[in-house]
Structure 1
Amino acid sequence: MKIKSIESWSTRYICMVRVRDDEGGEGWGQTAPYHADITASILHRQVAPYALGESADDLASLMRRITEREHKFPGSYLRRAMAGLDTALWDLRGKREGRGVCELLGGVARPLRVYASSMRRDIGAEDEAQRLLRLRQRHGYDAFKFRIASECGHNRDEWPGRTQEIVPAIAKALGDEADLLADANSGYDPSHAIEIGKMLNDHGIRHFEEPCPYWEMEQTEAVTRALEPLAIEVSGGEQDCDLAVWRRMIERRAVDIVQPDICYLGGLTRTLDVAAMADTAGLACTPHSANLSLVTVFTLHLMAAIPGAGPYVEFSIEGPDYYPWEEGLFAPALVAEEGKVQVPQGPGWGVEINPRWLEGADHLISELGA
Structure 2
Amino acid sequence: MAPPSGKRVWKAPFTISKMEVKDVRFPTSKGKHGSDAMHKDPDYSAAYVVLHAEGTELKGHGFTFTLGQGTDIVTTAVRGLEQFVVGRRLENIYNAFGAYWRELTSHSQLRWIGPEKGVIHLATAAVINALWDFWAKIEGKPVWELLSCMSPEEIVSLIDFRYLTDTITPEEAVELLRSKWSDEEARKKRSEFVPLGPCSILSSLLSSSRCLEALKAGFTRFKVKVGQNVEDDRRRCAAIRDIIGYDKPLMTDANQVWDVKEAITHMAQLAEYKPLFIEEPTSPDDIHAHLTIRKALSAYGIKVATGEQCCNRVMFKQFLEARAFDVCQIDSCRIGGVNEILSVILMAGKFGVPVCPHAGGVGLCELVQHLAMFDFVAVSGTLENRFIEFVDHLHEHFLDPVNITNGHYIAPTLPGYSAEMKPQSLDDYEYGKGCMWTTQQ
Q: TM-score range by the shorter chain?
A: 0.7 to 0.9
2:143 aligned with 1:106:
no
Is the Cα contact below 8 Å between 2:148 and 2:374 reproduced in 1?
Answer: yes
Structure 1 counterpart of 2:66: 33
Aligned letter for 2:77? I
Structure 2 counterpart of 1:73: 113
Deviations 1:15-49 (A, max 9, x none): 3211133442421111223332321111012x111
Structure 2 counterpart of 1:259: 329
Aligned letter for 2:297? L
Deviations 1:52-87 (A, max 9, x none): 333331332222112111320223211221111111
Structure 1 counterpart of 2:131: 89
Is the Cα contact below 8 Å between 2:395 and 2:402 reproduced in 1?
Answer: no
Structure 1 counterpart of 2:102: 64
1:305 partner SS: helix
Compute the displacement of 1:352 (Å). 4.5
2:279 aligned with 1:279:
no
Say which of 213, 222, 246 aligns to 1:134: 213
Compute the displacement of 1:141 (Å). 0.7
Deviations 1:240-276 (A, max 9, x none): 2122222111111111111121111121111111111
In structure 1, C-alpha distance between the alignment counterparts of 2:245 and 2:63, rounded to whole Å: 36
In structure 1, C-alpha distance between the alignment counterparts of 2:360 and 2:421, rounded to whole Å: 19
Structure 1 counterpart of 2:158: none
Structure 2 counterpart of 1:234: 304
Specify every segment of 5 or more residues in structure 1 that has no aligned partner in the other structure, as ranges.
121-126, 151-156, 320-325, 365-370
In structure 2, C-alpha distance between the alignment counterparts of 1:218 and 1:171, rounded to whole Å: 32
1:18 partner SS: strand
Structure 1 counterpart of 2:225: 147
State the number of aligned residues. 339
Which range is displaced more, 249-258 or 169-178? 169-178
Say which of 229, 249, 254 aligns to 1:184: 254
- Output the aligned Cα RMSD: 2.4
In structure 2, C-alpha distance between the alignment counterparts of 1:199 and 1:342, rounded to whole Å: 37
Deviations 1:182-221 (A, max 9, x none): 0011122222322333444432221211112223221111
Calculate the TM-score normalised by the size of structure 1. Answer: 0.84
1:68 partner SS: coil
In structure 2, C-alpha distance between the alignment counterparts of 1:187 and 1:263, rounded to whole Å: 22
Is the Cα contact below 8 Å between 2:24 and 2:426 reproduced in 1?
Answer: no
Structure 2 counterpart of 1:123: none
Compute the displacement of 1:50 (Å). 2.1
Aligned letter for 2:405? E
2:402 partner SS: coil
2:205 aligned with 1:205:
no
Aligned letter for 1:17? V
Structure 2 counterpart of 1:10: 23
Say which of 360, 365, 376 aligns to 1:296: 365
In structure 2, C-alpha distance between the alignment counterparts of 1:22 and 1:165, rounded to whole Å: 59
Which range is displaced more, 97-106 or 242-251? 242-251
Aligned letter for 1:133? L
2:245 partner SS: helix
Give identity over the alignment, percent. 24
Which protein has greater RCO, CA pairs closer than 8 Å, 6+ apart?
Answer: 1
Calculate the TM-score normalised by the size of structure 2. Answer: 0.71
Compute the displacement of 1:163 (Å). 1.5
The 1:277/1:79 distance shift into structure 2, 3 A limit, reads same
In structure 2, C-alpha distance between the alignment counterparts of 1:272 and 1:316, rounded to whole Å: 24
2:66 partner SS: coil
Structure 1 counterpart of 2:7: none
1:234 partner SS: strand
Structure 2 counterpart of 1:115: 201
Compute the displacement of 1:176 (Å). 2.9
2:382 aligned with 1:349:
no
Structure 2 counterpart of 1:19: 51
Compute the displacement of 1:230 (Å). 4.5
Is the Cα contact below 8 Å between 1:28 and 1:92 reproduced in 2?
Answer: yes
Which range is displaced more, 164-173 or 235-244? 164-173
Is the Cα contact below 8 Å between 2:257 and 2:283 reproduced in 1?
Answer: yes
Structure 2 counterpart of 1:49: 83
Is the Cα contact below 8 Å between 1:287 and 1:313 reproduced in 2?
Answer: yes
Aligned letter for 2:145? E
Compute the displacement of 1:351 (Å). 6.3
In structure 1, C-alpha distance between the alignment counterparts of 2:283 and 2:319, rounded to whole Å: 14
Say which of 149, 168, 173 aligns to 2:238: 168
